[in-house]
Amino acid sequence: MTNSHTDIFTINGGYMLSGKTEVNGSKNAALYAIAAALLTNEKIRYYNIPDISDIDDMLDILKSLGANVSYNNDYLEINANSIDGTSLSKELSIKIRASILVLGPLIARFGEAECFLPGGDAIGNRPIDIHIAGLMKLGTKVNVNQDKLIAKSTQLSGSKIVLDYPSVLGTINLVFAAVLANGTTIITNVATEPEVTMLLDLLILMGANITGSGSQTLTIIGVKRLFGTELRIIPDRIEAGTLMMAIAATRGTGTIFNVCSEHMSAVIEKFKDANIIVMDYDNSIMIDASNTIKSVNVQSVPYPGFPTDLQAPMAILLTQADGTSIIHERVFDNRMLYINEINLMGANIKIDKQKIFIDGPKKLHGGSIKALDVRAGAAAIIAGLAAEGETIISDLFHLDRGYGKIEDQLKHLGAKILRK
């Protein structure tokens, strides 16, 4: 993905979207799979990798450690047999949140890892205490000096770990360490997001001994080594939800292909509660939002509940609903910063700590707004599509971190959107 800090979208909004479009491979699942390649000295091949800048950054991280990375027409191949360093630079660590995922594999394979506290979206306080506490339980000495983290272990040993919170990256880092540890590890209160389940499937294909996938407790019996394999990355449920919300916010109709509907239950049911017609099949979802949209209340929580990554896009959709909707963000403590700008476009959204109150329906009008982070960027696009007149969205580099050419998908739905 090539993107520029000066790219902007011009959207001519106020038109109903209709048509068909397709979803790409999941950003987060692909990031976890790429990190998993560090666990073996054999080749791993992935299909359906999305073309987004977060993936480029993650691959730069692996390359900086000595891994070989190559792209074929339709797959990505990684070979981490040539790792010649266990220390990640500050520049790469702070680029993306998923940089922290080098910790588990490097400690498991080489007994040491160094990195800096990770970057990522500014959506609240994002500590890594769960990662550190778990790694220490597995026999790692962890030293954090200002923003630098040094971890060492002579022998990882299985242990019982209860996570304080079902952290997604925390779960993954600890599983990475436990698959090559000596003995049995039982981790309770783990994340069960579909991207985590895909990662567990991948590790099992690589030879890991893991039971309990999809449940809140994982039992992992350490093995001596892992092997190469290949895998197709699951569809991006957040991208699918974003497109559904874009269609619905313009009161349109459309079909989204290459979706795993099973992963979308929380969103689909909320749409139905809002009086939006949804027909879901295994691999596609059809929606029709031509009837009056009803207000609904939403809590964003860990999977299988409503995803925090769709909280901002959902808020824009609910500006078009009849009545007051309440959204309670319960995962991150500062993920409502986009509201001021949306209010400037004619919305009436009030904020009270972690809750927002959306009064609708409101006719939105064009404006000039910034993509504040990847999902706030998606929300800005939806606002622009629903609003009468022209909307300019700047700082697209945030959006390009997680959405691969979303303008093309939207154009398939008839959107008047141009990147300059």
Distance CA 417, CA 384 (A): 9
Site string for ligand EPU, 78-107 (x = CB under 6 A): -------------------xx---------
DSSP string for 130-142: HHHHHHHHTT-EE
Query: Does the protein bind ligand EPU through residue 167 (CB under 6 A)?
Result: yes
Burial class (CB in 10 A: 0-12, 13-18, 19+), 267: buried
Q: Which listed residue (309, 341, 395, 400) binds ligand EPU by CB under 6 A?
A: 309
Q: Which listed residue (103, 113, 115, 128) binds ligand EPU by CB under 6 A?
A: 128
Query: Does the protein bind ligand EPU through residue 259 (CB under 6 A)?
Result: no
Q: Which listed residue (402, 409, 410, 417) binds ligand EPU by CB under 6 A?
A: 402
Stretch that binds ligand EPU, among 44-52, 70-78, 118-126, 201-209 (CB under 6 A): 118-126
Query: Does the protein bind ligand EPU through residue 121 (CB under 6 A)?
Result: yes
Report whether 138 contacts 174 (CB < 8 A).
yes
The pairing of beta strand 141-145 with beta strand 112-116? unpaired
Provide, rounded to whole angstroms, the least separation between the CB of residue 195 and ligand EPU.
7
Distance CA 295, CA 156 (A): 51
Query: Does the protein bind ligand EPU through residue 267 (CB under 6 A)?
Result: no
Report whether 175 contacts 201 (CB < 8 A).
no
* CA-based nearest residue to 229, from 202, 194, 196: 202
How many chain residues touch ligand EPU (CB under 6 A)?
A: 26
Query: Does the protein bind ligand EPU through residue 372 (CB under 6 A)?
Result: no
Which 205-234 residues touch ligand EPU, going by CB under 6 A? Answer: none
Site string for ligand EPU, 12-51 (x = CB under 6 A): ----------------x--x--------------------
Distance CA 380, CA 369 (A): 7
Distance CA 180, CA 156 (A): 8
Distance CA 168, CA 229 (A): 23
Stretch that binds ligand EPU, among 40-48, 124-132, 214-222, 289-297 (CB under 6 A): 124-132
Distance CA 290, CA 174 (A): 46
Q: Which listed residue (9, 306, 332, 403) binds ligand EPU by CB under 6 A?
A: 332
- Which residues are at the interface with ligand EPU (CB under 6 A)? 28, 31, 97-98, 121, 125-131, 165, 167-170, 191, 193, 308-309, 331-332, 374-375, 402
